[in-house]
Amino acid sequence: MTCDDARVLMHALLDDELDLTKALEVQRHIEGCPECARAFDMFAAMRSRLKDEALRFEVPSTLEENISRAIRARTPEASRSTVYPSRRASLSQRAALFALPAALAATLALVIVPRALKSGAGQDLANEVVASHVRSLMASHLMDVVSTDKHTVKPWFNGKLDFSPPVNDFAKDGFPLVGGRLDYIDGRPVAALVYQHGRHVINVFIWPSSGDTTSEERIETEHGYNVEQMIVDEMNCWVVSDLNPVELGKFAALIRQKG
């Protein structure tokens, strides 16, 4: 065992995470190597300092009560911060909560101004989807699972969602799948698949269609982003990218065929 290996593995030894054979191997190295032994003692001391209770922040006593109340009420007033509408929320509740994407957009310091000519829930959804797309690019949170293999990405969603999104790789058509993540749209967890085309990132948001959404397909431009909406196999699919409409249309056609 080299010192470089020992200097990583000694942490797993301290944490009691090595199997017996490996643990003995590391111990043997440390015994025969003064430099590693010194490092080991120092990290052991560090570890016991970190375990010190004083470093743990105690929960403010009011937090549990606040959360308990917020969970039970789940109305916009109940929470100081963001409240997500229930999937089963009544239509009027939904309408009230559609103000949320706008508020979110404002905190993003992005000027997302609803257009006067368009209206309705579809428009709010489009804003929400674009906001999510932009957020995914800003944060270092484009992907939860990084893989170009649909057999890795699809199972990753198991247990995280109550539906199984269709996952396909379109690499041979110039739109490789690069990963996926969980997102939150229209008051519910959704699957977000990330594709790439050249330098452009494409987000595809997928969730089961409730049937009350308009089924007409459309493509539109939203604050410089192109958004395409469709329903494929009873799934809502929203495709968002800064890619030009023609290329994005090609991509959408692939989704439609494979769906």
Partner 1 sequence: MRAKEKRLPDDPKTLDFDRMFLPHMGAAYNLARWLVRDDHDAQDVVQEAYLRAFRFASGFRGGDPRSWILAIVRNTSFTWLSRNRGSDSPAEFDDKVHTREIEPRGLEADAVRQADGVMVRAALEELASEFREVIVMRDIEGLSYKEIATAADLPIGTVMSRLARGRAKLARLLKERLAKEQ
The smaller minimum CB distance to partner 1, of residues 108 and 253, is found at: 108
Residue located via tokens 């247990």: 159
* Helices assigned H by DSSP within 59-189: 61-73, 91-97, 99-107, 121-138, 150-156
Which range, of 84-92, 115-123, 205-213, 228-236, touches partner 1 by CB under 8 A? Answer: 84-92
42 binds partner 1 (CB under 8 A): yes
Window 198 to 257, contacts with partner 1 (CB under 8 A): none
Residue 168 tokens, joined: 């396909």
Site for partner 1 (CB under 8 A): which residue of 33, 83, 96, 254?
83
Residues 108-137 that bind partner 1 (CB under 8 A): 108, 135
At 73, the amino acid letter reads: A
> Interface with partner 1 by CB under 8 A: which range of 138-146, 147-155, 170-178, 202-210?
138-146
- Measured over the CA atoms of residue 136, residue 139, residue 144 and residue 148, the dihedral's sign is positive
Does residue 96 belong to the site contacting partner 1 (CB under 8 A)? no
* Contact (CB, 8 A) for 217 and 253: no
Least CB distance from residue 186 to partner 1, whole Å? 12
Instruction: Identify the DSSP state of 25.
Output: H
Would you list the DSSP string of 160-176?
A: TBSS------BGGGTB-
Per-residue burial over 139-151, b = 16 or more CB atoms within 10 Å of its CB, e = otherwise:
eeebbbbebeeee
Q: Which is nearer to partner 1, 45 or 171 (CB)?
A: 45
Least Å distance between CB 13 and partner 1?
11
Q: Least distance in Å: CB of 180 to partner 1?
A: 12
Task: For residue 94, state whether it binds partner 1 (rule: CB under 8 A).
Answer: no
Query: Is residue 55 a contact residue for partner 1 (CB under 8 A)?
Result: yes
Residues 155-194 that bind partner 1 (CB under 8 A): 159-162, 182, 184, 187-189
Q: What is the DSSP letter of 85?
A: P
Q: Which residue number, 86 or 257, has a Cβ lying nearer to partner 1?
A: 86
Judged on CB neighbours under 10 Å (0-12, 13-18, 19+), 65 is exposed
- What token pair was written down for 82? 């963001």
| Interface residue list for partner 1 (CB under 8 A) | 3-4, 7-12, 15, 17, 38-39, 41-52, 54-60, 63-64, 66-68, 70-72, 74, 79-84, 86-90, 107-108, 135, 138-141, 144-145, 159-162, 182, 184, 187-189
